Amino acid sequence: MTDHKTLMKEALKAREYSYAPYSKYHVGAALLTASGKIYRGCNVENAAYSPANCAERTAVFKAVSEGEKDFKAIAIVGGLEGSGTEGAFPCGVCRQVLFEVVDENTFEVIVGKNEEEYSVYRLSELLPFGFRL
Ligand code: THU
């Protein structure tokens, strides 16, 4: 079973590819599937600003577009260029995107600085009453 520390390490690796020349805020995410596979994602910004994609959504869209359907947890790490890392809570849009594809009562959101310092939340704590059709 992949542990929280491993997922945090993967999120730190994902952050290395973050493309954030505008905000300079670099984010990495690591999404764990039920079969133990990890999909990494980073934020990808754009000169037109609004097309930017968050790290969490990059990871979710990569996984779903490869046929993955069962997710256990996501680890997220952020931080301004040149500063240390910090816990980056998923934005509201990313919470709703996760809500669509996971069981919010069991899915874990791991937010922290590194593999030693992090906290674990359930998605249901971060997005109560998410929208479902
Ligand atoms: N960002 C993420 O990647 N994930 C979040 O949950 C919050 C924000 C990115 C978007 C943008 O590229 C940068 O962080 C600053 O907002």
Q: What is the pLDDT of residue 2?
A: 79
Q: Ligand 1 centre and the CA of 8: distance in Å?
A: 17
Per DSSP, which regions of 34-107 are E strands? 38-42, 71-77
Pairing state between β 28-33 and 38-42 = antiparallel
pTM for the whole structure: 0.97
**Pocket residues: Cβ below 6 A from ligand 1:** 20, 23, 25, 27, 43, 45, 52, 54-56, 88, 90-91, 94
Q: What is the pLDDT of residue 1?
A: 58
| Contact in structure between 119 and 111 (CB atoms under 8 Å) | yes
Rg value, the chain, Cα:
14
Longest CA pairwise span in the chain (Å): 42
Q: What is the pLDDT of residue 121?
A: 98
Q: Ligand 1 centre and the CA of 75: distance in Å?
A: 14
Instruction: Name residues of the chain where pLDDT drops below 50.
Output: none
